[in-house]
Amino acid sequence: MNFKKIIIPIVLLTTLGGGCSKVGDKFDGLLDNPNNPTPDAANVDLFLNRVELGVQSVFNTAATVGGKLTRHEIFYGPIYQNGYSPEDFNGIWSTAYTSVLQNVNNMIPLAESQNRFVHVGIGKILKAYTIATLVDVFGDIPYSEANLGIDNTNPSIDGGASVYAAALVLLDEAIADLTQRAVTATPNPTNDLFYGGNRARWVTAAKTIKLRLLLTSRLVNATEAKSGIEALITEGNLIDMPAEDFSFKYGTKQDAPNSRHPKYNTYYTATGAGDYIGTYFMWAMTQEKGLGTFSDPRTRYYFYRQKVNLGGINEDNLPCAGINPPAHYVSTDQPYCWLSAGFWGRDHGDNSGIPPDGTFRTAWGIYPAGGQFDASQNSRVTINMGAQGAGIAPMWMSSFTDFVLAESALTLGTTGDPRVLLESGIRKSIATVIAYPATVGYSVPADFVPTAAAINNYVNKVLELYDAAGTTKDKLEVVLKEYYLAAWGNGLEVYNTYRRTGMPSNIQPTLQATPGKFMSSFWYPADFVNLNQNADQKPGLDSKVFWDTYAGELK
């Protein structure tokens, strides 16, 4: 018997966020989520607040799992098939459909009735971003039949391409809401956590998210992507300076509720760092270009080393010490069990036992997690140090725009000089990172602030690599490696780029020589599959999202 097909439909809606069948008045009070506003007892600002908190939560999960697969952080594995379970994705699914989509759908008519068209526009932008992110993570998802309450308690899935198309429509509607319907007197949000109710900034964000969707789907719709991107370039209203960055800002409150950056909560604990940064990512930042450990001006901002002097290292706290790399590693450009100057991470797919190394592991630094700046303190993390968690979720930074426009110019032939865009992206990323501590009241010791000469030295090295690249593909490799490094904290965009291009191509392999096919999308959540009569689990994790037609082998 297929048990899931006889589940009472009411249960599904706790996951998909719609209404439910009336089963008795005495249960009515139990069906309301106290953390979500209801249409008859809410105002639009309350709705917007809940939506924005939900969006950052969806982003954080997507960025984390994407970053783990692309070596920003550790993916334990050891094989892709069992790296995650369907239960791992119940949270992001519930948050997306309930905290974001249901609340947006409830907010919009209420806001329209009050002529609060700024709220309407913001809601549509965040809805578009969320449904596109769900497609990027899962592939085909319920959309047209979702959140309908008792009218449809078992929504079927829509193709990812149609959901992307719906997101683009929402973004165009939002731009109209913000530039036309909101030009007359309309109350601004009192609690906009992204742009403080600034309509112009939200229009810029909407157009940049359109750029993101068009570029991401360029392999399956090159003509539309090129024309759409050209139109956006001509309009010239994209996120291209730090003041326009699409980022969620965290606080320093430790509890009731905890408002700190999620990575700060993980890496700054009473027992040391609670997880591992990927060996490959730290190696790529500090060693790959051969310029010296701290040649990348962002290094001390990205990472905080608990140990500068690694004396006393042995097989008890570093099990891979003294062991030769696996035979399938290319030792010249794929680090194994790499330690240098205290950068302590973990290799991709290493699911061996966890040693007592919590006070050795490198932690996230002040950017973007609001942690400690690395001034070679040689001291362990605590629960209150550095910027105390006042970090950001870098959902789209001005440097990202330059990197994707460079990719577009190289692959689609859109307007723009890829080399100029590459340099601009690097410099914007470095400037944003260096400026960040001051924005949260943290003072970096003057001796450790990168000089203009150090910045130019790094940029010139990258430009030399670009100039030496003999083919368009090789030039794209240089561009996307810098995007990979600049996107610290946004594993979602890195994951999308890797699936679209296979770059960085020298990415560290798993420890096992045969890890199975790369995780091209994630399992559908257990709640969705078990409680929806029209839902079936994917046959495997190699099921690609609609825009992923990359023919190369991902590792």
Residue 383 lies in a domain: yes
Spatial neighbors of 479 by CB under 8 A, at least 6 apart, are 403, 406, 407, 410, 418, 421, 422, 425, 466
Residue 508 lies in a domain: no
Which whole number is the average pLDDT over 154-171?
97
Tens digit of pLDDT for each residue in 437-472?
A: 999 999 999 999 999 999 999 999 999 999 999 999
For the chain, the average pLDDT equals 91
Spatial neighbors of 322 by CB under 8 A, at least 6 apart, are 315
Whether 217 and 300 map to the same domain: the answer is no
What spatial distance separates the first Cα and last Cα of the chain, rounded to whole Å?
38
Count of C-beta atoms within a 10 Å radius of residue 359: 15
Quick check: 412 and 219 in contact, CB under 8 A?
no
Tens digit of pLDDT for each residue in 327-363?
A: 999 866 779 998 889 999 999 999 999 999 999 999 9
Domains in the chain, number:
2
Q: With a cut of 60, say whether residue 174 has pLDDT above it.
A: yes
Which whole number is the average pLDDT over 145-174?
92
Distance of CA 87 to the CA centre of its chain: 20
Band (pLDDT 50/70/90 cuts) for residue 46 is very high
- Confidence at residue 166, expressed as pLDDT on a 0 to 100 scale: 98
Which whole number is the average pLDDT over 304-320?
86
Whether 149 and 229 map to the same domain: the answer is yes
**Stated pTM of the model:** 0.92
Residue 547 lies in a domain: no
Residue 363 lies in a domain: yes
Distance in angstroms (rounded) separating the CA atoms of residues 485 and 394: 13
Q: Which helix (H) or strand (E) holds 396?
A: strand 392-396
Whether 188 and 299 map to the same domain: the answer is no
- Confidence at residue 9, expressed as pLDDT on a 0 to 100 scale: 34
Tens digit of pLDDT for each residue in 231-285?
A: 999 999 999 999 999 999 999 999 989 999 999 999 999 999 999 999 999 999 9
Which whole number is the average pLDDT over 107-128?
95
Closest CA to 402 of 317, 483, 333: 483
Distance in angstroms (rounded) separating the CA atoms of residues 336 and 97: 41
Distance in angstroms (rounded) separating the CA atoms of residues 507 and 10: 45
Dihedral (Cα; 46, 48, 53, 56), 10-degree rounding:
180
Q: With a cut of 70, say whether residue 158 has pLDDT above it.
A: yes
- Confidence at residue 7, expressed as pLDDT on a 0 to 100 scale: 35
Band (pLDDT 50/70/90 cuts) for residue 317 is confident
Burial annotation 468-500 (CB, 10 A radius, 16+ → b, else e): eeeeeeebbbbbbbbbbbbbbbbbbbbbbbbbb
Distance in angstroms (rounded) separating the CA atoms of residues 50 and 405: 33
- Confidence at residue 331, expressed as pLDDT on a 0 to 100 scale: 67
Band (pLDDT 50/70/90 cuts) for residue 374 is very high
- Confidence at residue 31, expressed as pLDDT on a 0 to 100 scale: 41
Whether 315 and 400 map to the same domain: the answer is yes
- Confidence at residue 39, expressed as pLDDT on a 0 to 100 scale: 58
Distance in angstroms (rounded) separating the CA atoms of residues 306 and 386: 13
Residue matched to tokens 């109350």: 187
Domain enclosing residue 125, as ranges: 3-19+37-250+518-531
Residue 545 lies in a domain: no
Whether 457 and 525 map to the same domain: the answer is no
Whether 401 and 462 map to the same domain: the answer is yes
Query: Which CATH number characterizes residue 135's domain?
Result: 1.25.40.390
Tens digit of pLDDT for each residue in 227-241?
A: 999 999 999 999 999
- Confidence at residue 182, expressed as pLDDT on a 0 to 100 scale: 73
Percent of the chain with pLDDT over 70: 92
The helix/strand/coil state of 303 is strand
Q: Give pairs for 447-454: CB < 8 Å, separation 24+.
A: 448/300, 448/373, 448/375, 450/297, 454/295, 454/297
Distance in angstroms (rounded) separating the CA atoms of residues 392 and 373: 15
- Confidence at residue 332, expressed as pLDDT on a 0 to 100 scale: 64
Whether 269 and 168 map to the same domain: the answer is no
Task: Evaluate the CA torsion angle 342, 343, 345, 347 in order and state its sign.
Answer: negative
Whether 296 and 224 map to the same domain: the answer is no
Percent of the chain with pLDDT over 90: 82
Whether 153 and 270 map to the same domain: the answer is no
Residue 395 lies in a domain: yes
Whether 180 and 294 map to the same domain: the answer is no
- Confidence at residue 37, expressed as pLDDT on a 0 to 100 scale: 66
Q: With a cut of 90, say whether residue 315 has pLDDT above it.
A: no
Burial of 10: CB neighbours in 10 Å, binned 0-12, 13-18, 19+: middle
Q: With a cut of 50, say whether residue 15 has pLDDT above it.
A: no
Q: With a cut of 90, say whether residue 186 has pLDDT above it.
A: no
Residue 180 lies in a domain: yes
The structure tokens listed for 219 are: 């392999």
Residue 460 lies in a domain: yes
Whether 139 and 287 map to the same domain: the answer is no
Which whole number is the average pLDDT over 500-504?
98
Which whole number is the average pLDDT over 93-121?
95
Whether 170 and 273 map to the same domain: the answer is no
